[in-house]
């Protein structure tokens, strides 16, 4: 059952227990009823047995009237399955009398089958009858002293016991089947509605992860309420940890940037000296590396915040207007086409940083136009969420495959005449990777460079 839901496991477990309990109960009840039916049948046989013994002990009646007090017509009906037999056991010549139903047949002896006497002085058991019936038989040895010793036997057709037991089993099976169905329906109802609060919590957590909610809201049962409280407390603690991490990153940035600025200023004051030039060069490298790694630390800390969502179209629209102003002197026209429902699962400033670097880079290399398009791809797997495709095209000269591989390397610049530190695309690559996205460079339909950014959406 690996991978199955909790409701399924509970239902299967409950079903198994219901089936086992009903089966065991049915077996016990069937056995008890069979034993009760046998006892009732045995009482009937014993009644006939005592009557026969009384007749043997008082042989005053004439032979034609003897043994008429049994009151059972089946003893007169040939091979009816109901028989009695009296054997004298103390004479050399076997003497016996039997019911008319036996005709000339003989009943077997339980003693010969190894059945022992009970404390009441009788033997009880099952034997095969004259016509192949299964008989329930009782026999008792009787010692009348001078009148002789006898073995008195009474047998009845055991099909009555079997038929009664079988009929009871049918009724019992039908009753338990109905009861089992009712119990299973009740279990389904309990599992479905009993686990509904857990399903609500699962959906609420999914909303928090996707940014549609910030906390678990609503009333929960007493058993589930502590889980909701602890989950909300965990979310709050997560936000506090992230805020402290941001503060530490900012403090570190200020602590390191100030000494670097002093080093750069001192080197600039002695720029005529070769050593000063080298110091300034390495200080610039350190400043760039510092900016890059602090940015990564800041982003990594921010990514641990749960449930942040950014509207894409307004954020990129503001970027486009800003870039048009920055590159107004070159007459670059920026055209934007964005899905109004597009949402980024992350913070706005990270989206602006990634798209801003791409649009700024496109404007630097474009001849006259830059195209920005935002597409939303539906989720391909349950729970995976939608994906954003942000495409930035320019109509510049474009890049070869080898140049595309170089420009995403940190600090790598193909043209020193263009302003910048060479960290823009590498920051985009690193930032997209932290969000589980990617950056792909290719050829634009307009002949320039196409930068396609894939990011998690909502």
- Report the distance separating Cα 298 and Cα 247, nearest Å: 9
Asked if 346 and 233 sit in the same domain, the reply is no
Asked if 287 and 327 sit in the same domain, the reply is no
Asked if 123 and 266 sit in the same domain, the reply is no
Alpha helices (runs of H) in 211-330, residue ranges in sequence order? 225-269, 274-303, 312-326
pLDDT on residue 306: 54
> Structurally, how many domains does the chain consist of?
3
> Does residue 285 lie in a domain region?
yes
Task: Tell me: pLDDT of 302 over 60.
Answer: no
Enclosing domain of residue 406 = 308-456
> Does residue 205 lie in a domain region?
no
Per-residue CA distances from 388 to 175, 400, 440 (Å): 60, 26, 13
The CATH number of residue 424's host domain is 3.30.565.10
User: Which residues, other chains included, contact 85 with Cβ-Cβ below 8 Å and sequence gap of 6+?
Assistant: 96, 97, 98, 99, 102, 106, 107, 152, 153
Last residue of a domain, one of 277, 302, 327: 302
Asked if 320 and 445 sit in the same domain, the reply is yes
Confidence category of residue 183, pLDDT binned at 50, 70, 90: confident
- Report the distance separating Cα 358 and Cα 259, nearest Å: 32
Asked if 339 and 267 sit in the same domain, the reply is no
The CATH number of residue 21's host domain is 3.30.450
Asked if 88 and 141 sit in the same domain, the reply is yes
The segment with the largest mean pLDDT, out of 94-103, 145-154, 237-246, 249-258, is: 145-154
The C-alpha torsion from 15 through 17 and 19 to 22, rounded to 10°, is -140
Q: Are 136 and 126 in contact (CB under 8 A)?
A: yes
- Report the distance separating Cα 32 and Cα 336, nearest Å: 85
Label residue 449 left, alpha or beta by phi (over 0 means left) and psi (-120 to 50 means alpha). Answer: beta
- Report the distance separating Cα 125 and Cα 79, nearest Å: 19
Asked if 273 and 342 sit in the same domain, the reply is no
> Does residue 199 lie in a domain region?
no
> Does residue 284 lie in a domain region?
yes
Q: Are 199 and 216 in contact (CB under 8 A)?
A: no
Asked if 152 and 16 sit in the same domain, the reply is yes
> Does residue 178 lie in a domain region?
no
pLDDT on residue 240: 81
Q: C-alpha angle with apex 292: 279 to 426, nearest 5 degrees?
A: 115
Asked if 70 and 155 sit in the same domain, the reply is yes
Asked if 278 and 401 sit in the same domain, the reply is no
Tell me: the pLDDT tens digits for 79-91?
889 999 988 888 7
Asked if 291 and 351 sit in the same domain, the reply is no
Q: Are 137 and 110 in contact (CB under 8 A)?
A: yes
Confidence category of residue 63, pLDDT binned at 50, 70, 90: low
- Report the distance separating Cα 440 and Cα 451, nearest Å: 6
Asked if 24 and 155 sit in the same domain, the reply is yes
Task: Tell me: pLDDT of 73 over 50.
Answer: yes
- Report the distance separating Cα 175 and Cα 185, nearest Å: 15
pTM higher than the cut 0.85 = no
Confidence category of residue 418, pLDDT binned at 50, 70, 90: very low
Last residue of a domain, one of 274, 302, 330: 302
């Amino acid at each position: 059952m690996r991978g199955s839901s909790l409701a399924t496991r509970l239902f299967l477990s409950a079903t198994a227990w219901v089936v086992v309990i009903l089966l065991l109960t049915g077996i016990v009840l069937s056995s008890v009823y069979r034993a009760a039916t046998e006892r009732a049948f045995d009482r009937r046989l014993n009644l006939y047995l005592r009557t026969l013994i009384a007749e043997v002990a008082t042989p005053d009646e004439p032979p034609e009237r003897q043994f008429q007090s049994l009151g059972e017509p089946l003893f007169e009906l040939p091979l009816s399955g109901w028989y009695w037999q009296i054997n004298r056991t103390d004479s050399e010549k076997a003497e016996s009398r039997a019911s008319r139903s036996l005709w000339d047949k003989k009943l077997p002896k339980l003693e010969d089958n190894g059945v022992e006497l009970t404390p009441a002085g009788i033997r009880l058991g099952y034997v095969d009858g004259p016509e192949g019936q299964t008989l329930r038989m009782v026999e008792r040895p009787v010692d009348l002293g001078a009148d002789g010793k006898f073995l008195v036997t009474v047998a009845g057709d055991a099909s009555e016991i079997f038929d009664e037991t079988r009929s009871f089993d049918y009724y019992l099976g039908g009753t338990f089947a109905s009861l089992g169905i009712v119990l299973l329906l009740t279990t389904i109802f309990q599992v479905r509605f009993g686990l509904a609060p857990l399903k609500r919590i699962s959906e609420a957590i999914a909303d928090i992860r996707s940014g549609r909610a910030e906390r678990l809201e609503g009333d929960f049962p007493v058993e589930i309420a502590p889980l909701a409280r602890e989950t909300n407390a965990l979310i709050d603690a997560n936000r506090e940890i992230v805020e402290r991490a941001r503060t530490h990153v900012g403090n570190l940035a200020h602590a390191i940037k100030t000494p670097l600025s002093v080093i750069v200023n001192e080197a600039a004051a002695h720029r005529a000296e070769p050593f000063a030039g080298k110091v300034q060069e390495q200080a610039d490298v350190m400043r760039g590396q510092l900016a890059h790694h602090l940015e990564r630390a800041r982003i990594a800390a921010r990514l641990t915040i749960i449930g942040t969502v950014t509207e894409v179209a307004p954020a990129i629209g503001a970027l486009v207007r800003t870039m048009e102003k920055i590159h107004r002197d070159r007459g670059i026209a920026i055209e934007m086409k964005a899905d109004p429902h597009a949402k980024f699962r992350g913070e706005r400033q990270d989206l602006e940083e990634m798209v801003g670097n791409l649009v700024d880079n496109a404007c630097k290399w474009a001849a006259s136009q830059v195209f920005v398009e935002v597409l939303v791809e539906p989720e391909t797997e349950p729970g995976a969420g939608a994906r954003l495709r942000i495409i930035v095209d320019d109509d510049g000269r474009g890049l070869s495959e080898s140049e595309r591989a170089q420009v995403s390397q940190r600090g790598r610049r193909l043209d020193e005449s263009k302003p910048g530190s060479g960290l823009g695309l590498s920051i985009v690559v690193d930032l997209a990777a932290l969000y589980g996205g990617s950056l792909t460079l290719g050829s634009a339909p307009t002949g320039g460079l196409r930068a396609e950014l894939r990011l998690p959406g909502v």
